[in-house]
Amino acid sequence: MSEPDVPAPADSSTAGHAPELLAQVAALPGLPGVYRYYDAAGQVLYVGKARHLKKRVSSYFGRDHGGTRIGHMVGRIARLETTVVRSEAEALILENNLIKQLAPRYNILFRDDKSYPYLKITGTGQAPRDPGEGFPPAGAYARMAYYRGATDKRHRYFGPYPGAWAVKETIQLLQKVFRLRTCEDTVFAHRMRPCLLYQIKRCSGPCVRHIGVDDYAADVAHAEQFLRGETQELLQVLERRMMAHAEALEFEQAAAIRNQMQSLSRVLHQQAVEVGSEADVDILAVKVQGGRACVNLAMVRGGRHLGDRAYFPTHVEDAHALAAERGDAELPTVEAQVLDAFIAQHYLGVPAPAQLISSEPVSAALLKALGEQTGARIQATHAPRGQRRAWLEMAEQNAALQLARLLAEEGSQQARTRALAEALDLPADNLDELRIECFDISHTAGEATQASCVVFQGHRMQGGEYRRYGIEGITPGDDYAAMRQVLRRRYGKIAEALGEQGNAATVRMPDLVLVDGGKGQVAVAREVFAELALDVSLIVGVEKGEGRKVGLEELVFADGREKVWLGRDSAALMLVAQIRDEAHRFAITGMRAQRDRVRVGGSRIEEIPGVGPKKRARLLQRFGGVRGVEAASVHDLATVEGISRALAEDIYRALH
């Protein structure tokens, strides 16, 4: 039964909504599309897709939802935006692009800032030209390497893999069987004798012409066959080559291929999970418990099971309440909704394999949309048999274990947050919103001073809100001056906003400000807060104990309270130490990166017009560092790829 075209004005569900919004709902077309709800502050609440925009959107406004989660959301809707598309498949793709971009409050969200790793084999796979006499160019011999990032048509990529360990394990395997090189081109070009990998039979030594271009290209082709899962075909090809060498009385070559076949057979025998005829398969299992969910993704690539990776979505309860209220017959369970959201969001940025095995049914519209995106047919099975069933059961077991671990960790973290709030008399009415910011200073004998600010909120570290501050204009090694500078920069604008009429509600100070240090650092922080008219009681210093031993730290207060030692086994101290250690880690990694940039003279070279990061990297690589670049002549500089004669002269003048 369809919803009414125009929501009744007297209905309690429409009370409080502007007539313009209701008129917009009534005027929506009966076409597929995507809709977006916003609150009065302009924050996106929900992104949804619909086969029939008017019916779907009207269902939110056409009845009373009471005090449910969806009722709370509908009551906050102040603005509506829609986009009409040509098909439901297009609507699904657009919906999940917007979900990733906008992170709405009432959608299931999968957040992962890491791209998947690939195994890269350089070159296009075309037959290389034999360089003839002389030193072989690196481009004639393909190199395999671990890779993350955007792909390049000049090279070949295999994957994606669930983690870096899977790529590195595969590289080691290919070294043992096919003996392909992994060295950088610059190392390859300057070798005069084979390296250790050749000595331990992990490389065939192309750098010193211990293998011909054609033979090496054949090994590369065989490695690619293996990565594609064509293992039986590969073994047959190797067997034919071995017999041909034997018939030609080339027994050394035949023995080498025999050894390669034995290594390959040993590798295939050691592979714990065989996949039969399928080369690339993804196995997806979902588990929901205690208001949290876990999707476990296991990957089979090139006929090898590469392990799995767990994902934990947010806003599961809100999204499930919305689906239940609108009566989503296609996704009746929360598990099905979580899996549908994961598949749609995950495969927007990662190529989907031809076969998916899942613990829940996958909608036909979703498979069609993924197929249109990849240009190939995608199939899904949720009730497999035989070996596939074993894979799925393993993925389901891993999902349950990962979710149990998460719930245990979250319970422990929440207990730590509560313990700290009680120990320091922090607001305990809404611990989910408790916000702690921690500062640390790092440098090497005064060089490349960096300050870090890390944020703890919602019972976890919020990496997206971390900030680094480059400290300048102070005496090298003056940690007090560095702390003074970073606190002014961090809270100066907040203090101004708090002091302005009407802006106080738009900014928020943290509930606790931790500084890594004792009385001296706390005194500096107190001075800054006094200058900015901020509450000094927020400041707490983490002073290292006797012998700088973990568990003996004491808390120093800026408002005059006595120092406190919470106890070695205190949950509150464990949380303080966790936040302090994260601030230290974040500061020291930034300091090392800055120090390295300074030591290689990066800033000086990059300041030269026409020299960007790529040209700078080529210069430093060719001449071994900034001193080598400074010592190079104009003629030498002009021999570097991308450096013209005029630019070489500019570089020489700038460095001299």
Domains (range + CATH), the chain? 19-102 (3.40.1440.10), 281-403 (3.30.420), 431-597 (3.30.420.340), 600-655 (1.10.150.20)
Please name the residue ranges forming H helices in 144-212.
Answer: 164-177, 185-189, 196-199
Cα–Cα dist 330/511, whole Å: 44
Are the C-beta atoms of residues 136 and 207 closer than 8 Å to each other? Answer: yes
**Phi and psi at residue 490, to the nearest 5°:** -75, -45
Helix (H, G, I), strand (E, B) or coil at 289: strand
**Chain centroid offset of residue 298 CA:** 17
Contacts of 434 (CB under 8 A, 6+ apart): 417, 421, 426, 427, 457, 511, 512
Q: Which amino acid is at 298?
A: A
Secondary structure (DSSP) of 429-464: S-GGG-EEEEEEEEEETTEEEEEEEEEEETTEE-GG
Q: What angle do CA 647, 648, 654 make, to 5 degrees?
A: 90
Write down the pLDDT at residue 285.
Answer: 93
**Chain centroid offset of residue 218 CA:** 36
Q: Which amino acid is at 182?
A: T
Give 66's DSSP letter. Answer: T
Three-class HEC string of 538-555? HEEEEECCHHHCCCCCEE
Give 282's DSSP letter. Answer: E
- Nearest CA to 481 out of 509, 454, 455, 451 is that of 451
Secondary structure (DSSP) of 508-528: ---SEEEEESSHHHHHHHHHH
Q: What's the alpha-carbon Rg for the chain, to the nearest Å?
A: 31
With left for phi above 0 and alpha for psi between -120 and 50, is residue 449 left, alpha or beta? Answer: beta
Give 132's DSSP letter. Answer: -
Give 193's DSSP letter. Answer: S
- Residue with the two structure tokens 């003279």: 601
Write down the pLDDT at residue 137.
Answer: 74
State the sign of the Cα–Cα–Cα–Cα dihedral 147, 150, 153, 159: positive
Write down the pLDDT at residue 7.
Answer: 38
Give 138's DSSP letter. Answer: G
Are the C-beta atoms of residues 127 and 158 closer than 8 Å to each other? Answer: no
Successive 10-residue mean pLDDT values, the chain, 656 residues: 37 63 88 89 87 87 69 85 84 83 82 72 68 65 86 80 80 84 84 86 87 86 80 72 77 74 57 50 88 86 74 76 59 82 82 86 85 82 82 88 83 86 83 91 77 91 88 86 92 85 72 90 93 91 74 84 82 88 86 57 64 80 71 82 86 79
Tokens of 438: 């921690």
- Residue with the two structure tokens 């890594």: 516
Contacts of 191 (CB under 8 A, 6+ apart): 183, 207, 208
- Nearest CA to 164 out of 132, 117, 230 is that of 117
Q: Length of the chain, please?
A: 656
- Residue with the two structure tokens 């994961």: 342
Pairing of strands 435-444, 447-457: antiparallel
Are the C-beta atoms of residues 116 and 161 closer than 8 Å to each other? Answer: yes
Beta bridge partners of 514: 438, 540
Tokens of 63: 């009845």
Are the C-beta atoms of residues 13 and 63 closer than 8 Å to each other? Answer: yes
Pairing of strands 379-381, 355-358: parallel
